[in-house]
Amino acid sequence: MRVLVVNTGSSSVKLRLLGPDDELLCREDPPLDEGAVSEEKLAAAVEGFSGVDAVGHRVVHGGGEFSGAAVLDDGTVERLRGLTGLAPLHQPKALSGIDAMRRVLPETPQAACFDTAFHVNLPPEAATYAIPREWRERYPLRRYGFHGISHAYAVRRAAEMLGGDPGRLVTAHLGAGASLAAVRRGRCVDTTMGFTPLEGLVMNSRSGDVDPGLVLWLLRDAGFGAEEVAEGLERHGGLAGLTGTSDMRDVVRRAEGGDADCVLGLDVYLHRLRAKIAAMAAALGGIDTLVFTGGVGENQPVVRAGAAERLGFLGVGLDPEANDAARADADITGPAAFVRTLVITSREDIKIARDVRARLGGR
């Protein structure tokens, strides 16, 4: 089965046609038009992709309902639309891609794969917020977790690279969004994102964890409106709020040149990253393997080295030369380290294609 994978991002749509053995047959990245997928541009791109048997869409939020790939029909799409408020940066763009592709290829079976699915069986102690019972009973207020497609692929690829079970594994998906997952025997037991993709690590434009009292103070005492606070935390926080740029490449370059804001921004980013890796290790009772993936995790040796620098007490240590040279799937473990550290290229497209084939019965 040849699966066309549709991954709608912040500025473009990544289209990848994968063959039955996950070989990449075609690729195209048409831009978004004012944050939405252009049906015209999508149709033009797909015209060059011959022999599409099925379509798989990456969708950030599946709520607690979707634990695996779901066939897309009108009812499923409407249920996904109802989750937009839980992922306001991502869900509308994914839905615009789904709507457009269903019109472009109306006779082709299509399915959605969810970033939340990998975390749907989080243990209660990791999934539950300490908020009033009546709130939790009335509304679906729990920790959902995200980046699950990337985390799941990294788990499988780590096992392939190591020739067996990677043991107590922490996967670090570091990109525009960033999250960690603690994984034991293929099951996620904790993660850093929660009810929305705003919780957890410092990200490109998202704040990550802040004191809830700070948000209440902004709303109650500083006179901010809810939309203004949401805009600040989601689009103008994180590295953008600390340094003036949301691009980690610029932050690293300017920090190395002595820019004070970027030095602070990188320090804040790494401080939170190290603390959360240690927290994931605690959830596992230790750590045997650490994986870096995502655009930042794969391409920024400074970030990998900075994260590992103060994790020696866990047994983490990097080989400086291997770390600097790593560009694809690579082992960068230091000679005296007890924890294997890997750099893995994120291939969400492969994971989505496999899940779509399994759901639709293709080979």
- Tell me whether residue 279 is in a domain: yes
Q: What is the 3-state secondary structure (H, E, C) of 271-313?
A: HHHHHHHHHHHHHHCCCCEEEEEHHHHHHCHHHHHHHHCCCHH
Specify whether 103 is located in the same domain as 174. Answer: no
Which candidate in 115, 190, 319, 355 is catalytic?
115
Active site residue 250: no
Residue 169 and residue 90 share a domain: no
- Listed as ranges, residues in the chain with pLDDT below 70 are 10-11, 362-363
Residue 281, in any domain of the structure: yes
Q: What is residue 42's predicted lDDT score, i.e. its pLDDT?
A: 86
Is residue 182 situated within a structural domain?
yes
In the numeric block, the tokens 């920024």 are attached to: 300
Same domain assignment for residues 238 and 331: yes
Whether 143 is in a domain gets the answer no
Q: Kindly state whether residue 231 falls inside one of the protein's structural domains.
A: yes
Same domain (yes/no): 241, 339: yes
- Region of 251 please: left (phi>0), alpha (psi -120 to 50) or beta: alpha
336 shares a domain with 190:
yes
Q: What are the beta bridge partners of residue 169?
A: 183, 289
Q: For position 363, what pLDDT does the model report?
A: 46
Flag whether 212 is in a domain: yes
- Cα distance between the two ends of the chain: 5
Residue 182 domain boundaries: 163-343
Domain count along the chain: 2
pLDDT for the residue numbered 32? 78
Q: Who's near 217: CB < 8 A, 6+ residues apart?
A: none
Residue 155 lies in a domain: no
Residues 251 and 268: beta-carbon distance below 8 Å:
no
Task: Mark whether 98 and 13 lie in a shared domain.
Answer: yes
Q: What CATH number does residue 47 fall under?
A: 3.30.420.40
Give the pLDDT score at 280: 98
Mark whether 185 and 83 lie in a shared domain.
Answer: no
**Whole-number pLDDT of residue 46:** 87
pLDDT in tens, 262-313: 999 999 999 999 999 999 999 999 999 999 999 999 999 999 999 999 999 9
